[in-house]
Amino acid sequence: MTLGLILATVAILAGIGGLLTTCRYCRYLMQWQRRHAPPSQFPRVTVVAPHRGPIIRGHVEALIAQVYPAAWDIIFVTTREDASYPQLEDYARDHSHVEVVLAEDVVQLAKEKGIHRGQKCHNLVTALSRVPPDTEVIAVIDSDVCPSPDWLRTLVGPLGHAHDRLGATTLARFYVPGPRLASHAQAAWILGSAPFMLEPWGYIWGGSFAVRREALEKTAVLARWKGIKGSITCDDLGLSVALRLAQYRVCHVPGYKAVRTPRAGETWSDVLGFTNRQVLHMWWTRRDLWLAASMIHGVKSIALLCALGIAWFQPVALVALCAPAMDLAGFALGIYTLRSLDHSDRSFLRSQRKAVLVGGSLAPLLWMINTIVAATRSHMQWGGVDYTYRTVEGYTTNTSWRTDRSSQATGDGASS
């Protein structure tokens, strides 16, 4: 067997694995309504919304205006020096169910107290100390995510059933692309990650999730968010690990009830920084998830490019083009399934189709790049803070990501 045929076979097998994973995901979506009835009673909820940088008013107002059939309130959490603080204070004065809580800046926390935490994880820990005692479920939403009017009801609904081992629910991650090619490639990259929200991987999207208070108290979630266990930067993957170790289930709720809106002027540097950070989180926190995604997307892209590179000498290697064809088929199937579930938001569906057509062929390249660099990268930037993978004497016995220094704030309203 020639080298070209071997490479093509690897690419095709990975493509088949990706297509089967997508088919399984679409089947799950289509069967959801039949298998999951609305609860007879909804739990009392506190929504925690971390902020960093200027707010996006449309997102804040959509969150405040949620229609939920039980008692609920909102805790916006930010730092005193952050641009969002005075803006959020205005909303707290005007709405009785809204409160603003101030967290310490993690760079100062590291310098003055030697405590290393990710800013978003620290914001969550701070906000939890202010949650009312009768709250049963904590819902979290990032500031760059726009919730639909029924976002909270949809997300929390499954937790209203008396399933003791259901610890958390999460929505799929969908991005509306901006005008640039890089933004379309990123939206397609995100769309391809949705199937991994199902078991056996069951990852949680930090942009929109809900967790039982009981699960927070009975697992090591808070220890992970405080940086005592695991990576200090992974609020969502740290939560998924803690729940899995305690044998709690995670439920993926179908639908696009929470969508991240595009950022102005999103460049290839921004996209590479974002995707690399996501893969780094997986590499250091959920190696099983990293391995599955890298085998399906990263290894496939490497094998495909190598096969095409030697196709001039071994034309049989051109059969590797079946792999991207299967990728496009999987994207098309996913969008068709989403449209079947809810075709009311036509602008969103158009944005996803355009993302696939414009950036779908480039999304696997992002996986290839990040598959190569994730294992060697020791620095990343997130929410205006630099983090370095290093050991801190006397803080913990584990080498992990450590708060390093402040960077220039993005100013786009993204949560920490």
For every one of its 416 residues, what pLDDT tens digit does the chain have, with 9 covering 90 and above? 588 888 899 999 999 999 999 999 999 988 887 777 778 889 999 999 999 888 899 999 999 999 999 999 999 999 998 889 999 999 999 999 999 999 998 888 888 887 888 889 999 999 999 999 999 999 999 998 999 999 999 999 999 876 778 999 999 888 989 888 999 999 998 888 888 888 888 889 999 999 999 999 999 899 888 888 777 778 899 899 999 999 999 999 987 788 887 777 788 888 888 888 888 888 888 888 888 888 888 888 888 888 888 888 888 888 989 988 898 898 889 888 888 877 777 888 888 999 988 888 888 888 888 877 777 777 777 777 888 877 666 555 455 566 666 554 443 434 44
Q: How far apart are CA 336 and CA 162, in angstroms?
A: 33
Q: Are 292 and 196 in contact (CB under 8 A)?
A: yes
Closest to 66 measured CA to CA, from 50, 39, 46 = 46
Phi-psi region of 405 (alpha: psi -120 to 50; beta: other; left: phi over 0): beta
> Nearest to residue 107, comparing CAs of 398, 408, 399, 394?
408
Neighbours of 118 (CB within 10 A): 24
The CATH code belonging to domain 3-406 is 3.90.550.10
> What is the distance between the alpha carbons of residues 221 and 180, in angstroms, rounded to a whole number?
38
- Which amino acid does the sequence have at 249? R
Residue type, 364: P
Q: Which two tokens stand for residue 3?
A: 């080298």
Write down the pLDDT at residue 132. Answer: 94
pLDDT of residue 257: 83
Closest CA to 11 of 411, 333, 326, 359: 326
Three-state SS for the chain is CCHHHHHHHHHHHHHHHHHHHHHHHHHHHHHHHHHCCCCCCCCCEEEEEECCCCCCHHHHHHHHCCCCCCCEEEEEEECCCCCHHHHHHHHHHHCCCEEEEECCCHHHHHHHHCCCCCHHHHHHHHHHCCCCCCCCEEEEECCCEEECCCHHHHHHHHHHCCCCCEEEEEECCCECCCCCHHHHHHHHHHHCCHHHHCCCCCCCCCCEEEEEHHHHHHCCHHHHHCCCCCCCCCHHHHHHHHHHHCCCEEEEECCCCEEECCCCCCCHHHHHHHHHHHHHHHHHHCHHHHHHHHHHHHHHHHHHHHHHHHCCCCHHHHHHHHHHHHHHHHHHHHHHHHHHHCCCCHHHHHHHHHHHHHHCCCHHHHHHHHHHHCCCCCEEEECCEEEEEECCCCCCCCCEEEEEEECCCCCCCCCC
- Here the tokens at position 358 are 């414009």
pLDDT digits (tens, 9 = 90+) for 218-242: 998 998 888 887 777 788 998 999 9
Q: What is the pTM of this model?
A: 0.88
Both structure tokens of 223: 């220890």
Task: Look at residues 72, 51, 57, 41 and name the one whose alpha carbon lies nearest to residue 414.
Answer: 51
Structure tokens at 311: 């196709």
> In this structure, which amino acid lies at residue 146?
C
Can you give the residue ranges of every domain in the chain? 3-406
Distance CA 43, CA 307 (A): 54
CB 90 within 8 A of CB 387: no
